[in-house]
Structure 1
């Protein structure tokens, strides 16, 4: 890949550099942009910092997994190298990006800010590398995404991919994770972004999320009656997890609503029909976590992974799948945050 370094603090602000502005900051004033990028208005020199794309990729991996060990495994690096990359990036920014101890890793406020910048810089880096390498992807790419990502900014990543690779025929399938796994195994999809099945170790980890029981704010749970559940149909992965932990607790339950559509489940939950298992980071508006006083069992965590079709098929589809996978991994915070209008 073409080596490329990005400098924050250019002498001018040509339109070509507008893509460096993180999407969630696009509405800020020009004055704010000048402050963010430390632009030197005399146009004779710049005063800024250089960020290494390799270090930014490592930063995104740690930010998405909240683990130096898992980030090292994803990137194929030693853990000491991951630590070194983060240390050098923190030295370059002059700010701590993570707060960490022996038990946990968390993003600082500056780390949260860097998420948007890192993804945008890496996207621009990859576009420049592809342009100057003279490569043009083409062909058919069948991509499957879990229903969960309807609530994120994944469409923005797909839009950018389509703009950068107009000759790729992107076919999107949105469905339950279990169904997407089956379609991938049958060779009907080339790339899948979905929950990892229980006991499975395959796939490239995109993020790890805690599952919560959620419901309408005024929902009252009667401990003497079966728990009303709102679930995806089989082979839904969150469905299987919910039933597993309830059976282990000995809690009685009944299915109050089944829908293959996330919007259908959300509507049922808002109507107060029952509780549903859902990713804590993406709780839809109008729904809240069920209070601990209800005594429901913990659902644990779920891994979201990227999976490629076995055998990888035609070279064109493989290259397109690799490019989209890289764009998703570089998307950083876009898979953690809902669109602005939700």
Structure 2
């Protein structure tokens, strides 16, 4: 059963006349008659019966009318949806765990504003690992920490480093500091360790963490103090205001764009997103 024949059949059901049905579907009466005969062959039953001089629906015709309305409605809805929809744009975005709760949601919101039918795939890893994936063509854009001497990428936000503790942690400026810090490729790791060594401050590394969540868990459990970007600080953590602690650097957070040939997001869009970013 083809849809055009069912549509013609319903035109007869609605009008009760082959003449008017032919007018509605823009066909000749002979073409309509041929459609109805083919429809009857397809279902193996007669759709019409004579009632005096008038042609009416047979029992099979009455049954088909109910199904035909559903089939045509479903066909038209499917056609409408497929006709108006566009191919989704898949973009692979990388974000360090440090910025997942602060920078990431705002970037994602802007991406959806600029790109319709966005299929966004988000990966979390360290900036170093994300840059490697970007260079290998495994990611299209990443949120990253920029080197102090570099102008790479599109600037999003600057954040100073802060020392943090839990509310229950009793901090003493003379204590041996229990530290939870990021891995060695993090700028705060180097600044914290070198600064403490220069000031001859006693410390003990409780854990070198590959993610913000693991670092925060140690701090929130009162096992350590941490060195993180202020933009990454959870509301439940307190900043330690002690001038004897070494200063932590200011970092720049940027959007980096991969230059591989099939990158679905162009540099102009990335630039606009960076320009519109607010925090």
When normalised by structure 1's length, the TM-score is 0.49
Residues 98-247 of structure 1 correspond to what in structure 2 (within 5 A)?
A: 139-152=89-102, 154-155=104-105, 157-159=107-109, 161-162=111-112, 165-223=115-173, 225-247=175-197
Structure 2 Cα separation of the partners of residues 236 and 169 of structure 1: 31
CA contact (8 A) 1:215 1:288 kept: yes
Matched, 1:313 2:260: yes
How big is the shift at 1:225? 4.9
Change (3 A) 1:205 1:174: same
CA contact (8 A) 1:177 1:237 kept: no
Structure (1 or 2) with the greater strand fraction: 2
Structure 2 Cα separation of the partners of residues 137 and 328 of structure 1: 25
Structure 1 Cα separation of the partners of residues 92 and 210 of structure 2: 20
Aligned to 1:131: none
Aligned to 1:327: 273
Q: Deviations over 1:160-208 (max 9, x none)?
A: 5347534444221122223223322333322111211344332222111
Matched, 1:257 2:203: no
Structure 2 Cα separation of the partners of residues 191 and 244 of structure 1: 32
How big is the shift at 1:156? 5.0
Structure 2 Cα separation of the partners of residues 308 and 249 of structure 1: 40
Structure 2 Cα separation of the partners of residues 252 and 187 of structure 1: 44
Give the structure with higher Rg (CA): 2
CA contact (8 A) 2:180 2:208 kept: yes
Q: Deviations over 1:41-60 (max 9, x none)?
A: xxxxxxxxxxxxxxxxxxxx
Change (3 A) 1:298 1:139: same
Structure 1 Cα separation of the partners of residues 88 and 174 of structure 2: 59
| Corresponding pairs, count | 194
Matched, 1:276 2:226: yes
Residues 299-310 of structure 1 correspond to what in structure 2 (within 5 A)?
A: 299-309=248-258
Structure 2 Cα separation of the partners of residues 325 and 236 of structure 1: 26
Aligned to 1:323, the other structure's residue is in SS state helix
Q: Structure 2: which 5+ residue stretches go unaligned?
A: 1-85
Residues 289-308 of structure 1 correspond to what in structure 2 (within 5 A)?
A: 289-292=239-242, 295-308=244-257
CA contact (8 A) 1:196 1:304 kept: yes
CA contact (8 A) 1:145 1:193 kept: yes
1:287 pairs with 237, 242, 252, which one?
237
CA contact (8 A) 2:95 2:104 kept: no
CA contact (8 A) 2:188 2:249 kept: no
